[in-house]
Structure 1
Amino acid sequence: MKKEMTKSEVRNVQLGLLDFLDKICRENDIEYSLAGGSLLGSERHQGFIPWDGDIDVMLRRDYYEKLMPILSELEGNYQLHYYKKNIDYQNYAKFYDDRTILKSFRDQMYDGRIGVHIDIFPQDYLPDDKLERTKFLKKIFKMSEALASTGFPAYISGTKWYYQFARFFLRLPLFIKHHGKNREVAEELDQLMQKYDSQKTKEVGFVSSKYFDKEHFPSEIFNDYEDIKFEDLKVRKIKQHKVYLKQLFGDYMKLPAKKDQVDHDFYHWFWREENDRV
């Protein structure tokens, strides 16, 4: 019987992944930065946000494309989940520890397929014009929905049972159209995400962000990096982190209300049994 992991065990595994990723990037002259809540946590808490268990990192597209083949060729416990290597229903990579396994009734995209992980997000150029940018992001969202609908039960994934119920019907036409075409749709989406990269516009961000049009930043903030403390590790961040965090979170050093200090994670993590490796 699989043993469920404690919160401390999960965090130790995440930190091991981050430490390994940091070493790989430094050895290969690849710059990366903590992202989202992880960057916020490093500034406000010097590590994890107490009620948030994720680790997110971001890379400029050129660094991202350099990193993916390196991680894809790894042997051992640390593995990359990425559309060029696996069936994947999202347009960013996950770096996970194969000694562990994720179980979730809500997340049918990754249930039983990966373990404790960190998310790796590519940063692409975005249109400078707000109307053009909004139109582009809506197109990305539409294609992201198509990618999520290329498999069943993946396409009904949702944080609440009623989301799953609704998606069963709302995404059904997309599933009928795109099922069995995961690699084809993922490739098309990945190319679309890079549409403006050759134009070197003034705005950059993860184009499929849950923050939608809040996630666009001056491109120059991804030019300079420095070390920062995250728990007991020394990792990397963009030097102009204040611009990034203010754009996403506003007054980011202010703690949210107690009622909002909630972990919305709906995953359960287990140690794999030796004969249960993928």
Structure 2
Amino acid sequence: MLETRSEMNRLAGQAEILHRMDEATRKKLQHELVGMYMDIQSVCRQHQLTVMLAGGSALGAARHSGFIPWDDDLDLMMPRKDYDLFLKIFGPSLSQKYILTSPNTLTHSKNLFAKIYKKGTEFLELQDIGTPFPHGIFVDIFPIENVPENKVVRIIKGLLADIISYVTVSVFYFRYGNRFFKEYMSANRRAKWNYRLRITIGFMFSFVSHRQWCNFFDSFVRSSHPGRYVTIPTGRKHYRGEIIERAKLFPPVHADFECHQVKVPRDNDAYLKNLYGDYMKIPPVEHREQHYIVRIDLGTI
């Protein structure tokens, strides 16, 4: 949304309601997230479903054998077929401890992908104030989608997917915006105009509910025709930027993560280079991605 991570960090520092997470709390949160992963992994192993680390978590496994030291979330991904089955078995398997939200389910999802929240915890970000969605600590699960073999069709579908994603997020801002987030986004001219554009587009397309847009995007990007390439449309680089050869992801291999065995893409080096370029280089402090939170409560550990 903003041009650089450093700009986001600077704006967040100006918002009195936000604060950085201290090191002790971050370590406790990371410990909780590993426990959530182990529960998810156990269910996936029981039902022979493939789940592996994604994004910054896969980067952490490669560079730190665990979390990136300043990271405070956990990203996973699953092939669409396994992802859909996981959504169906979640209730009897994990609902006693966790809450699941995802498009095209009975729950209204804030995001375009599945999010699992731990009951009895709180992780409140600025854009979540006043929304009806869960606010607990969470693990993200991104579906891996088949990509059309025809290059032209692939480009067109990718462009449309990115447009639908942009509209959906804009409708979220319009429908669930709060004054604190508006003030945060008004602290800089570039951010202010970006936010105004989002609100305008959100208003224009709000004749369809945010939930319907999420469901539409989820249905649009899926494909039952496997080919040479796959993508993670809800990843950091979106549909076109995340396209990669299927053989680079599957079958996944084991890696160390916080003294546990986890699964990562088969060619994790190729996957991470596509996302980050020279991923082994430690970024300067001002470019390190981090959440600025309103409130956090890890419950009883």
Question: Could you state the TM-score of these two structures normalised by the residue count of structure 1?
Answer: 0.83
| Number of the residue aligned with 2:245 | 218
| Number of the residue aligned with 2:15 | none
| Number of the residue aligned with 2:72 | 53
| Number of the residue aligned with 2:202 | 174
> CA 1:215/1:21 → structure 2, altered by over 3 Å: closer, same or farther?
same
| Number of the residue aligned with 2:98 | 78
| Number of the residue aligned with 2:185 | 161
Partner SS for 1:120: strand
> CA 1:158/1:227 → structure 2, altered by over 3 Å: closer, same or farther?
farther
Q: State the alpha-carbon separation in 2 of the partners of residues 245 and 166 from structure 1.
A: 29
| Number of the residue aligned with 1:15 | 34
Q: Which ranges in structure 2 are unaligned for 5 or more consecutive residues?
A: 1-20
Instruction: State the Cα distance separating 1:198 from its structure 2 match.
Output: 3.0
Deviations 1:205-259 (A, max 9, x none): 1123331333111012333123221103222222221221122222322323454
Q: State the alpha-carbon separation in 2 of the partners of residues 241 and 186 from structure 1.
A: 29
Q: State the alpha-carbon separation in 2 of the partners of residues 22 and 271 from structure 1.
A: 24
- Superposition pairs of residues 127-146 of structure 1, within 5 angstroms: 127-128=148-149, 132-146=153-167
Percent identity (aligned)? 24
Instruction: State the Cα distance separating 1:67 from its structure 2 match.
Output: 0.7
Tell me which moved more, 123-132 or 35-44. Answer: 123-132
Q: State the alpha-carbon separation in 2 of the partners of residues 34 and 254 from structure 1.
A: 20
Partner SS for 1:50: coil
Instruction: State the Cα distance separating 1:103 from its structure 2 match.
Output: 1.7
Which amino acid in structure 1 is aligned with residue 134 of structure 2? R
> CA 1:11/1:159 → structure 2, altered by over 3 Å: closer, same or farther?
farther
Partner SS for 1:148: helix
Q: State the alpha-carbon separation in 2 of the partners of residues 28 and 40 from structure 1.
A: 27
Partner SS for 1:127: coil
Instruction: State the Cα distance separating 1:186 from its structure 2 match.
Output: 2.3
Question: Could you state the TM-score of these two structures normalised by the residue count of structure 2?
Answer: 0.77
Q: State the alpha-carbon separation in 1 of the partners of residues 182 and 154 from structure 2.
A: 27
In the comparison of the two structures, how many residue pairs are matched? Answer: 268
Tell me which moved more, 13-22 or 235-244. Answer: 235-244
**CA RMSD between the two structures:** 3.0
Q: State the alpha-carbon separation in 2 of the partners of residues 114 and 256 from structure 1.
A: 29
> CA 1:123/1:167 → structure 2, altered by over 3 Å: closer, same or farther?
same
Q: State the alpha-carbon separation in 2 of the partners of residues 16 and 159 from structure 1.
A: 36
Deviations 1:2-40 (A, max 9, x none): xx9922221121111111111111111001110111011
Q: Which has the higher helix share?
A: 2
Partner SS for 2:224: helix
> CA 1:178/1:19 → structure 2, altered by over 3 Å: closer, same or farther?
same
Are 2:45 and 1:26 aligned?
yes
Are 2:213 and 1:185 aligned?
yes
Deviations 1:32-70 (A, max 9, x none): 110111011101100001122221011111111111112
Q: State the alpha-carbon separation in 2 of the partners of residues 109 and 253 from structure 1.
A: 39
> CA 1:169/1:244 → structure 2, altered by over 3 Å: closer, same or farther?
closer
Which amino acid in structure 2 is aligned with residue 204 of structure 1? V
The match for 1:266 among 274, 289, 292 is: 292
Q: Which ranges in structure 1 are unaligned for 5 or more consecutive residues?
A: none
Tell me which moved more, 135-144 or 68-77. Answer: 68-77
> CA 1:229/1:111 → structure 2, altered by over 3 Å: closer, same or farther?
farther
> CA 1:235/1:249 → structure 2, altered by over 3 Å: closer, same or farther?
same
Instruction: State the Cα distance separating 1:164 from its structure 2 match.
Output: 6.5
The match for 1:93 among 93, 114, 128 is: 114
| Number of the residue aligned with 1:120 | 141
